[in-house]
Amino acid sequence: MECEITVFAELENLKDVNDFMAGKLERINCSRQVRMQLEIALEEIFVNIASYAYHPKSGKAKIMLSVDEERKQISVRFEDTGRPYNPLQRDDPDITLGVEEREVGGLGIYMAKKSMDQTAYHYENGKNILTITKKLK
Determine the structural domain holding residue 115 and report its residue range. Answer: 2-135
DSSP alpha helices (H): ranges in 55-122?
107-115
CA distance 54 to 24: 27
Taking a C-beta distance cutoff of 8 angstroms, is the pair 115, 101 a contact?
no
Per-residue pLDDT tens digits for 15-50:
999 999 988 888 887 889 999 999 999 999 999 999
CA neighbor of 126 nearest in space, from 84, 86, 78 = 84
Per-residue pLDDT tens digits for 115-129:
999 999 999 999 999
CA distance 16 to 27: 17
Number of structural domains in the chain: 1
pTM (2 decimals)? Answer: 0.88
Beta bridge partners of 75: 66, 133
- Percent pLDDT > 90 in the chain is 63
Domain of residue 40, CATH code: 3.30.565.10
Name the 3-class secondary structure at 120.
strand
